[in-house]
Chains A and B, each alone.
Chain A
Amino acid sequence: MSAWRRRKGFTVALVFCAAALFGLASEPDLPVTDDARFYVPAARAYGLWATEALTGLFTLDLQPFARPRLDAAFSQNHEHPPVAKYVMAAGWLLLHHLTGLLDDTAACRVFVVFLWAWMIALVFALVDEVRGTAAAAFAALGLALLPRVLFDGHAETLDLPVAAFMTFALATTWRHLERPTLKNGGVAILAFALALGTKHNAPFFLAAAVLYWLLVDRPRLDRLRVRLPPVPLALSGMVVAAPLVVWIMWPWLWFDTLPRLSAYLQYHLHHYGIFFYYGGKLYGDDVAPWYAPLHLTLLTVPLPFLLVAALGLLLVGQAMLPRRERWKRLTADAVSWRDDAGARLGLFALLQLVVQLGAVSWPTVPKYGGVKLFLPVFPFLAILAGLGCARLERELAGATLTARVRMGLRAVTWTLLLLPSAVGVLGYRGLWLSYYNEVALGVRGAAGSGHERQYYDLAYPALAADLARLLPDGGKVAVLPNPKEYGPHLARWQDQGRVSARLRLAAPEAADFLVLTHEQRWREYPLLMARYRGHKTAARLSVAGVPLYTVFDLR
């Protein structure tokens, strides 16, 4: 390995470590999502099975591979493939089961944070490869400071893992398409298999990859016959070998493969409606408008970062324009994409972004949960932002300025472009799912425009503290409009000793306190508020003045 590659590798490792440290330190006590009750037990079951299976391989005990044992472990959350849950299982085994350092949910989260940091390092490495360290650092920093992604980067769910594995797939596939070798083709297939084994939005990666390949290596028309270029190893392997790798990774499919695969596909093709409050309207079985995902993206990415990414997008478009006389003015200062690896990377990221957004925007696809359903869009956006930043850097480098002035201008530019993101991270600390950008005028403006201020039935640590303060010796608490998720949350807090062991969930008629979450996706919310608002307010959690929950004293 050359000294240059070693140095690059070291820098990327440094970025990973810095991101992981920031991720772990930024908010160690983040609200728990309602998905925890699915994925944490699944991580536990898969982790215990993996331990037994590994031990069995050494002791020649094949019992863990028998169908009853496999079904017992993998029937847990079999609606989704296992890779993200293996990642969480690693955290669960190391930090909870073996060492007892953390509770089960926190242990699962640590390894999700590592995936988030890895995703940032991958973006850094890619942009660094084509546009240098400064642009790469901007892309990585901007991605690390996206408040909503930062939340998902801590959450015990599948959304961040699939985004990370798709970024890995993008990096490896792009490198393979640039300089095809057997080795990097194999890695690309494995990367895609990891994404495919994480969540069902991964197959769309392949559609964008094929589209990119056809654009870069265009088919030729020869006597009215379309002649395709040779299919790259990675792409054919993604079709043939990647599903096989997923089958190997997912023991649930080892038996009754076809019925179970069919059940998996049917589940996702006919996903039940989830309530979604958007633009002052309620959606559930009827789906929100197609443009909702794009609109939410535009409202939840800090404006300067969004616009630098838009500049990157324009540059990709500029590089794609044909070098003809009529386009001369537009292409004068740009290198054609055929001679610019950076533009090709931007094009690949752009196609992936469009396909991911397009898939979730399809009119019949359920839309809910803010931006979590299309989280892979954000690392791709960061790559475009890296290209945009490189253009800014080029402008500064081309100006006749003293080195000191140039450095000063760069510092001012970076500060002004990234400070709004940092303000979002700090201002919404721990409540990043409520973040809206400067266009929306924050959560205040977004709530006033009829958008969700929260989702996921979050278990806010502040609520645990409020309940411990209000009912130190236990009592009865009601939660509305959706009490269902708070049973598991309460049990978890009791296990952690955060609230009294004698605290019980109850109907409002029998409760001492009522927790009313201000969630308008529940149709009954306004009437519940009207019914209980006369009671004394005992506690309230707000962000930027917008209430997220209110605790009423019913005694």
Chain B
Amino acid sequence: MPRSDWPALRRLPLTVAAWAIGVFALARSACSFWPVTALAERPGFAAARRYLETALTPDSFVVVWPPEHAAALAALPPALTAADAVPIENDHQRRYLHILVVGPSGFATPPELADVRAEARRRFDAVEVGAWRHPSGDRVLADLRTNLSQARVSVSGPTVNVACDQRRPDGGWDCPGQPPWNNVSPTTLRVDGAAWPCVWAHPRAQHELAIDLGDQILGDRVELEAALADDAATTPGGAPVTLRLEVAGVGTSPLSRTNAAGVARANLPTPRGQRRNVRVVISTGSDGRRHLGVNVRVVETRAASAPAGDHR
């Protein structure tokens, strides 16, 4: 461009802005393709690896981060539970409470951990290890409402013996040939004035409604909850509902939901790790307006959070 044309550029603000944007985009584009030094080849990786082995607890999960460093997984000891992604677990079912993230120094926090309590990062030359800890709490190993589609349901008694094996679109079960209310399905009842997510389990007079969760790996207890919907609990003369929680080879736990608002609860302690059948049987003397909801959970008790490690 002749020298005399240069001043003209000042009168081309959009064109110059377009150039700047183009150059910026090309530079960013080049950065996004630029080969990175493999994490495993960075100074400090061996020390970080040793640290990860010592920092490990049974509820730890190691994440290699960011994703372009996934190849470093091959360089981690086989004993580590590790991946190139953060496990996304429901709070009440969380298995991994302690997430250790290894990456190049200064790596950005994985978005999955943005709301999790971070502990101090530990630097090993060009490699860094960060730790995040989820709040500890009991862990639900199995939940009737979540796994209802795998349950077996039946009604048995003097006049009706039927397997409720007709699938509903909501994951529940209908009992063929029986009244529509005689189903077992996910629902939300109003209990004590609040929404209560549960499984609809309207009992049938003089019959037993059995919900079989199948074989489950046990935790430390099985919880049973039962409640009548508020409008049903105020029915004058409403019959009590009797429930029985059965864990094969462990024992049974009875529970009665009288004609009152609120959630009735029962717990049955269980030996951890064993695989046993879990079922609940529900009956009543009179089924008028017995709008009953139940929850069954296999629960593992967890100790309070382990103290944070040494993060100098």
Q: Indicate whether B53 reaches chain A with its CB closer than 8 angstroms.
A: no
- Asked whether A442 lies within 8 Å of B73 as measured between CB atoms, the reply is no
Q: Indicate whether A545 reaches chain B with its CB closer than 8 angstroms.
A: yes
- Per-residue CB proximity of A395-423 to B under 8 Å, as 1/0? 11001111001001100110111011001
- Asked whether A423 lies within 8 Å of B26 as measured between CB atoms, the reply is yes
- Asked whether B68 lies within 8 Å of A438 as measured between CB atoms, the reply is no
The residue among B18, B65, B76, B89 with the most chain A CB atoms within 10 A of its own CB is B18
Could you name 5 residue pairs across A and B whose Cβ atoms are closer than 8 Å? A281-B88, A304-B25, A416-B23, A420-B25, A544-B33
- How many A-B contacts are there with CB distance less than 8 Å? 157
Q: Which of A304, A420, A448 contacts B66 (CB 8 A)?
A: A448
Beyond A405-B1, A442-B33, whether A526 also contacts B12 by CB under 8 A is no
- Per-residue CB proximity of B74-106 to A under 8 Å, as 1/0? 101010011111111100000000000000000
- Asked whether A409 lies within 8 Å of B66 as measured between CB atoms, the reply is no
Q: Which residues of B contact A443 (CB under 8 A)?
A: 32
- Asked whether B32 lies within 8 Å of A544 as measured between CB atoms, the reply is yes
Residue of B nearest to A398 (CB): B11
Q: DSSP class of B's interface residues: helix, strand, loop or mixed?
A: helix
- Per-residue CB proximity of A147-158 to B under 8 Å, as 1/0? 000000000000
Q: DSSP class of A's interface residues: helix, strand, loop or mixed?
A: helix
- Asked whether A530 lies within 8 Å of B83 as measured between CB atoms, the reply is yes
User: Which of B110-118, B119-127, B220-228 has 4 or more CB atoms under 8 Å from chain A?
Assistant: B110-118
Q: Indicate whether A541 reaches chain B with its CB closer than 8 angstroms.
A: no
Interface residues of A toward B: which range?
35 or more
Q: Indicate whether A247 reaches chain B with its CB closer than 8 angstroms.
A: no
Q: Which residues of A contact B33 (CB under 8 A)?
A: 427, 442, 544
- Asked whether A427 lies within 8 Å of B110 as measured between CB atoms, the reply is no
- Asked whether B61 lies within 8 Å of A530 as measured between CB atoms, the reply is yes
Interface residues of B toward A: which range?
35 or more
Q: Please measure, in the bound complex, the distance between the C-alpha atom of A231 and the C-alpha atom of B73, giving whole angstroms.
A: 65
Beyond A527-B83, A530-B61, whether A307 also contacts B21 by CB under 8 A is yes
- Asked whether B83 lies within 8 Å of A424 as measured between CB atoms, the reply is no
Q: Which of B15, B63, B83, B114 contacts A413 (CB 8 A)?
A: B15
Q: Please measure, in the bound complex, the distance between the C-alpha atom of A46 and the C-alpha atom of B86, giving whole angstroms.
A: 45
- Asked whether A280 lies within 8 Å of B110 as measured between CB atoms, the reply is yes
Residue of A nearest to B17 (CB): A307
Q: Please measure, in the bound complex, the distance between the C-alpha atom of A412 and the C-alpha atom of B21, giving whole angstroms.
A: 12
- Asked whether B25 lies within 8 Å of A444 as measured between CB atoms, the reply is no
Residue of A nearest to B108 (CB): A448
B132 to chain A, nearest CB (A): 13
A273 to chain B, nearest CB (A): 13
A528 to chain B, nearest CB (A): 8
Q: Indicate whether A453 reaches chain B with its CB closer than 8 angstroms.
A: yes
- Asked whether B83 lies within 8 Å of A529 as measured between CB atoms, the reply is yes
Q: Indicate whether A497 reaches chain B with its CB closer than 8 angstroms.
A: no
User: Which of A254-262, A334-342, A517-525 has 4 or more CB atoms under 8 Å from chain B?
Assistant: A517-525
Residue of B nearest to A543 (CB): B33
- Asked whether B12 lies within 8 Å of A399 as measured between CB atoms, the reply is yes
- Per-residue CB proximity of B192-219 to A under 8 Å, as 1/0? 0000000000000000000000000000
- Asked whether B85 lies within 8 Å of A520 as measured between CB atoms, the reply is yes
